[in-house]
């Protein structure tokens, strides 16, 4: 019985730590301060090419509050190496295009830690669409 209580306590503790981490990283106002040198995001619609964790609907829902209707897309001239895109002329990265508004783009910037871990750059996707993509600093 004692072992069962310890196992349940450890499981609940682990879930609490994971939930606190996700809140801190994705939703809290404390985990990220947008660098002052980054320009403000004008209102409007934006396309963002994603190729990692943001291809998963639950992650998108946690980051900006909805799963959206992403479209499959590819980016030639790059290949994915861990958390970044590396130029590779004969390769291609498959991913998705998210359609977001200015507030959602700001939420994506927070998630990607724009200005600290990533920069947001424009790319031309294989289907001709111009989209933002996050690249490691």
pLDDT tens readout for residues 85-116: 999 999 999 999 999 999 999 999 998 989 99
What topology does CATH give the domain 32-136?
Hypothetical upf0131 protein ytfp (3.10.490)
Quote the distance between the C-alpha of residue 135 and its chain's center: 11
d(Cα 136, Cα 124) in Å, to the nearest integer? 18
Specify the pLDDT at position 62: 86
Sign of CA dihedral 111, 113, 115, 118: negative
> What residues of the chain score a pLDDT lower than 70?
26-29
Specify the pLDDT at position 26: 67
pTM: 0.81
Per-domain residue ranges for the chain?
32-136
88: its two tokens: 């590779």
């Amino acid at each position: 019985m004692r072992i069962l209580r310890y196992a349940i306590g450890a499981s609940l503790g682990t879930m609490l730590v994971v939930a606190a981490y996700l809140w801190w990283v994705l939703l809290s106002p404390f985990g990220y301060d947008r660098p002052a040198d980054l320009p403000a995001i004008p209102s409007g619609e934006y396309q963002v090419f994603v190729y990692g964790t943001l291809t998963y609907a639950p992650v998108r829902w946690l980051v900006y509050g909805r799963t959206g209707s992403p479209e499959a897309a590819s980016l030639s001239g790059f290949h994915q190496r861990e958390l970044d895109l590396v130029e590779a002329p004969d390769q291609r990265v498959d991913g998705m295009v998210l359609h977001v508004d200015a507030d959602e783009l700001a939420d994506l910037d927070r998630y990607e830690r724009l200005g600290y871990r990533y920069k947001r750059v424009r790319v031309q996707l294989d289907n001709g669409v111009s989209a933002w993509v996050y690249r490691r600093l």
